Amino acid sequence: MALKAVQLDRETISCPICLDLLKDPVTIPCGHSYCKNCIKDHWDTEDEKRIYSCPQCRKSFIPRPELLKNTMLAVLVEELKKTGLQAAPADHCYAGPEDVACDVCTGRKLRAVKSCLQCVASYCEKHLQPHYQSATLKKHKLVEPSEKLQENICSRHDEVMKMFCRTDQQCICYLCSMDEHKGHDTVSAAAERTERQRELEGSRHNIQQRIQDREKDVKLLQQEVEAINGSADKAVEHSEKIFTQLIRLMEERRSDVKQQVRSQQETEVSRVKELQEKLEQEITELKRKDAELKKLSHTEDHTQFLHNYPSLSALSESTHSSSIKIRPRKYFEDVTAAVSEVRDKLQDVLRETWTNILLTVTQVDVLLSEPEPETRVLSRESLTGRCYWEVEWRGDGVGVAVAYKNISRGGSSDECGFGFNDKSWRLYCRTNNYEFYHNKVKTRVSGPRSSRIGVYLDHRAGILSFYSVSDTMTLLHRVQTTFTQPLYTCCVSIIVAES
């Protein structure tokens, strides 16, 4: 009983506006009490109307009543404070911007804990108690706090919409079912909810199944990504090793050529310098002999002249030819020519095989791409979509090509030739071989000979494929690129001139 009395005292001496313990309590003419500042601020907002009302009972006063302190309540407040009890709830119990506020609270509203669909109102814990205590109110449907309760009220009859019109697919009130919805297929909202709930569960089951399927797909795709990355890493690693070996081999060959040239250079220069030294020695000896003969020629003593002449006039035989034959000064130019020939051959090999290497790379296809045809299914789609067509040929051969519309059409330059510019792609089909051309680059193509060629185009994916068609389809060549314009087909007969 004492606890109940204390609770009653707390409710009695709480301000209905701020919900806190009364501060400077005052009592207005209708008998309700407020904090002095709370009621003063409330009435200040009513100055323009000059009619002052009680926030609780709405009784009006003219003129504005004088606010007098309620001494008894002030004493009770002080006594209650001494017990350590507080009348105001904690701050987190008040309704914030994101909360549903209690419709009964005045002043600073508490957060609602439930909404009543019958009352079309939301209540805090305190004001919800009657719904737990009254036999009538216990039958009301309580739900989680909602700000959309007014959507449950019929705008025409101001009644709770407890029925559902299946004809018009909308919630209605009982009066609506007797008025504009009379004769319609109507059921209670609860019955419709039960039906829709079953549909909802079915939908949820389908969604959850799809989620599981998609999660499996995502897992598979993740594995695909890991496989692609792993395979690409290995390909790059092995390619790096192979190219490193090629580079090392080229470096070794370059070093060998350099060493051989320098060695031969040293040998030849040494031979030439040795001969040059001997010739210079011979020149020195001849000059000395010439000087002695000159001196002898000026001797006036005939006897001395005749005595010395035989020994001075005798010349030693030269060990070298009187003339040296010099070859045309090319020397190591033949080496340069040989190395250039190797370079040209390597360039030809790289040019012929490089496109195939790149095509092999682009042939790596992910699960998401459209599959190329495995059977001869002709397509009527435009050449900006996915198309397949066949060309049957006979005679010396045929050139099967696709090209942009703005390719040059006159003259005999490469700009007009299919496969000899960047605006066309062409497969040459002859009786004994295939060749593919694009932008002057020739690629040799191997495959079974056939008088029927299939062409597959996926314009968006940038795929152009050529097939040898007989009882089966065999891929001859595939291009992976980016097409910037619509493509047009063309065929050119090949005539081999008779010798």
DSSP for 27-79, please give it: E-TTS-EEEHHHHHHHHHTTTTTT-EE-TTT--EESSPPPP-B-HHHHHHHHH
* Stronger pLDDT, 87 or 277, i.e. the higher one: 277
Work out the pLDDT band at 388, boundaries 50, 70, 90: confident
C-alpha span between 78 and 69 (Å, rounded): 14
In 3D space, the residue among 186, 183, 192 whose CA is nearest the CA of residue 172 turns out to be 186
Q: In sequence order, which residues have a C-beta less than 8 Å from that of residue 394 and are 6 or more positions away? A: 451
End-to-end CA distance of the chain: 130
The pair of structure tokens assigned to 201 is: 């569960």
Distances (CA, A) of 430 to 103, 215, 416, 491, 498: 91, 51, 21, 13, 16
What's the pLDDT score for residue 363? 55
- Tell me the pLDDT of the chain averaged across its residues: 82
What is the rounded distance in angstroms from the CA atom of residue 466 to the CA atom of residue 398?
13
pLDDT confidence of residue 436? 94
Among 8-22, 320-334, 357-371, 466-480, the range scoring the smallest mean pLDDT is: 357-371
pLDDT in the model for residue 425: 93
pTM, full prediction: 0.39
Q: Which CATH number fits domain 375-493: 3.30.420.110, 3.40.50.300, 2.60.120.920, 3.90.470.20?
A: 2.60.120.920
Angle of helix 189-297 relative to helix 333-362, nearest 10 degrees, comes to 180
310-333 as b/e: b if 16+ CB within 10 A? eeeeeeeeeeeeeeeeeeeeeeee
Confidence band of 4 (pLDDT split at 50, 70, 90): very low
Q: How confident is the model at residue 65 (pLDDT cuts 50, 70, 90)?
A: confident
Give the residue among 130, 178, 172, 129 at the shortest CA–CA distance from 153.
Answer: 172
Helix then strand then coil, in percent of the chain rounded to 5, is 40, 20, 40
Q: Is 138 helix (H, G, I), strand (E, B) or coil?
A: helix
Cα 147 to Cα 122: distance, rounded to the nearest angstrom? 8
DSSP state of 150: G
Q: Indicate the pLDDT class of residue 119, thresholds 50, 70 and 90.
A: confident
Check whether 3 has a pLDDT greater than 50.
no
- Residues of the chain above pLDDT 90, percent: 23
β 60-61/163-165 pair status:
unpaired
Element (H, E) at 178: helix 174-178
Name residue 283's amino acid.
I
386-392, strands of its sheet edge to edge = 386-392, 452-458, 463-469, 473-480
Domain at 11-84, CATH homologous superfamily: Zinc/RING finger domain, C3HC4 (zinc finger) (3.30.40.10)
Residue scoring higher pLDDT (467 or 55): 467
272-286, 375-389, 448-462: segment of lowest average pLDDT = 375-389
Q: Name the residue with tokens 């297929």.
A: 185
Neighbours of 18 (CB within 10 A): 19
Residue type, 271: R
